Amino acid sequence: MRPKWQRMLKKIYRLTKHGSFGFVYRRGESKATAGFSLFYVKSASLKIGFSISNKLGKANRRNKLKRRMRAVVRELLPLKRYQIVIVARQNAAAFGFAQIKEQITELIDKAGLRSNEKKEA
């Protein structure tokens, strides 16, 4: 297993403040699939946040889903400079990793957020 610091999304990419999430919801555009919604707004730097409702299950189930979502986004980096919030919908709790990856990749492509830069080592 990889060390914890390699599994996490780098700190510089994290969207953490409640107000930042609210800003993205209010001012941003959105795209959706069956399992996820994506909200995004142009920004000076790339910041990504994840939102999962308590309705999706107990903490261990929500945490597992969030870990999988982070892993998918980490594979897709680098992205364009936007503030991004990915929201898990009710259906997402039943998805396997492959389905999560497919849907989040589809959302990012729909929104045109992929960057042409090379991934950092």
Residue 117 placed within a domain: no
Query: How far is residue 92's CA from residue 90's CA, in Å, rounded to a whole number?
Result: 6
Residue 120 placed within a domain: no
| Confidence at residue 121, expressed as pLDDT on a 0 to 100 scale | 45
Residue 90 placed within a domain: yes
Q: Which tens digit of pLDDT belongs to each residue from 90-113? A: 999 999 999 999 999 999 999 999
pTM: 0.87
| Confidence at residue 54, expressed as pLDDT on a 0 to 100 scale | 93
Please state the domain count of the chain: 1
What CATH number should be reported for the domain holding residue 20? Answer: 3.30.230.10
Handedness of CA 73, 18, 38, 28 (dihedral sign): negative
Residue 121 placed within a domain: no
Cis amide linkage into residue 3, ω under 30° from 0: no
Q: Which tens digit of pLDDT belongs to each residue from 1-58? A: 555 555 677 888 889 899 999 999 999 999 999 999 999 999 999 999 999 999 999 9
Residue 66 placed within a domain: yes
67-82: average pLDDT: 93
Residue 15 placed within a domain: yes
User: For the chain, what percent of residues have pLDDT higher than 90?
Assistant: 78
Domain enclosing residue 17, as ranges? 4-111
b or e along 15-24 (b: 16 or more beta carbons within 10 Å of the residue's beta carbon)? Answer: beeeebbebb
The number of beta carbons lying within 10 Å of the beta carbon of residue 99 is 16
b or e along 52-85 (b: 16 or more beta carbons within 10 Å of the residue's beta carbon)? Answer: beeebbeeeebeebbebbbebbbebbebbebbbb
